[in-house]
Amino acid sequence: MSDYITHDHEHDGIDRRGFLQCMAWAGTGLLWTVSGGVLASKTLAQIAKAAEPLPATDLSFLQISDSHIGFSKEANKDVTATFKIALDRINALPTPPSFLIHTGDITQLSKPEEFDIFDEVLKSCRTKDVFYVPGEHDVLSDNGKLYRDRYLKNVEGKGSGWYSFNKNGVHFIGLVNVLNLEAGGLGQLGDEQLEWLEADVKDLGTSTPIVVFAHIPLWAVYPQWGWGTSDSERALGYLKRFGSVTVLNGHIHQVLQKVEGNVTFHSAMSTAFPQPAPGTAPSPGPMKVPAEKLRSVLGLTTVQYRQGNNALAIVDSNLS
């Protein structure tokens, strides 16, 4: 491993970037933790058994993504049931997360009845605070009006629905990169949102941990399939002076992670159906797996912040 060590932020002899270069493409279905350079595998069930409450200064939140309520094809004929299982897992955690982040594609076709089902099922979740960003499936018919009417009630949404908020000293930024897309292009933030972002972080100290969340990856995962955001470089330029930046996304229905300097990019599993690894299929459409394997490729992500640690701890857990 020593050949791969380029950054040893935590002085523990383990370099995250080097390890992840080896691990990133084997991520689907794996359960692992990144915490200040130390990697470990665990499941939500193990976390539940360990029953170790977090110290009061810590912050724990949970990412769910790509519920696709309304989808009923072969890859998963009951996406509502798997979404419920994900919520059951959250409810079983010994330390409830402070809040949830949903990184988009709540629904399959932006239909009011699909949003209704999602909202109804979500009522069973003990964690009540949820922050959203839209996926392209949530803004199909009306440029996102219905989505914004429903899911931006607790935040000060700007423009097409982006916003920021602070929790326990961490600055969270929810971005919209699924609207006003251009022919031949990728996900897009647009000038207005980028100008807002620049102003939003301008007065923050560089030691403020930053968490950015958006639906489409803010790094070029696989542009041939549209898995990237055309103007993400400009956004990241405004964030590069910060010591800890965590960028969470959905959209690609699989765990992938990349570390660039102080920025950790992480994509979450879906609660509905998996998608193929980049370039391994004719298209990025829903991937069919044997029924008994489905829950092993669906999941959610917990994120923990411990003061003094450079990186946030990210744990992916499947629904098996």
Partner 1 sequence: MTTIAFKNKLVALLCGITVLNLSLLARANEIKETAGDAGGKTQIEIKDFNFNPQTLTVKSGQKITWINRDEEPHTVVSVEKQFKKSPPLDTDQEFTITAGAPGTYTYFCSVHPKMTGTIVVQKS
Q: Which residue ranges make up the site for partner 1 (CB under 8 A)?
A: 73-75, 108-110, 136-137, 140-141, 181-186, 223-226, 279-286
- Min dist CB 112 to partner 1, Å, is 14
Query: How far is 213 from 99, CA to CA, in rounded Å?
Result: 14
Beta carbon nearer to partner 1, 16 or 148: 148
User: Minimum distance between the CB of residue 289 and partner 1, rounded to whole angstroms?
Assistant: 14
CB 108 to partner 1: min, Å = 7
Q: Which is nearer to partner 1, 81 or 281 (CB)?
A: 281
Give, in order, the Cα–Cα distances in Å from 210 to each of 53, 88, 108, 314: 24, 29, 30, 14
Shorter beta-carbon distance to partner 1: residue 27 or 286: 286
Which one, of 40, 42, 41, 36, lies nearest residue 12 by Cα?
A: 36
Q: 97 or 276, CB closer to partner 1?
A: 276
CB of 122 to partner 1, least distance (A): 23
Instruction: Describe the crossing of helices 112-122 and 79-91 by its angle, rounded to 10 degrees.
Output: 30
Q: Which is nearer to partner 1, 97 or 286 (CB)?
A: 286
Least distance between partner 1 and beta carbon 192 (Å)? 19
Nearest by Cα to 298 from 278, 277, 273: 273
Q: Whose Cβ is closer to partner 1: residue 15's or residue 231's?
A: 231
CB closer to partner 1 out of 24 and 109:
109
65 CA to centre of own chain: 7
Q: How far apart are CA 189 and CA 152, in angstroms?
A: 18
CB nearer to partner 1: give 155 or 181. Answer: 181
Please tell me the distance from the alpha carbon of residue 273 to that of residue 313, in angstroms, as a whole number.
25
- Give me the half-sphere count of Cα atoms (radius 13 Å) on the Cβ side of residue 203: 3
Task: Write down the least CB distance from residue 202 to partner 1, Å.
Answer: 31
CB of 300 to partner 1, least distance (A): 22
In this structure, is the dihedral angle defined by the CA atoms of residues 89, 95, 96 and 98, taken in order, positive or negative? negative
Q: How far is the CB of 184 from partner 1 (least distance, A)?
A: 5
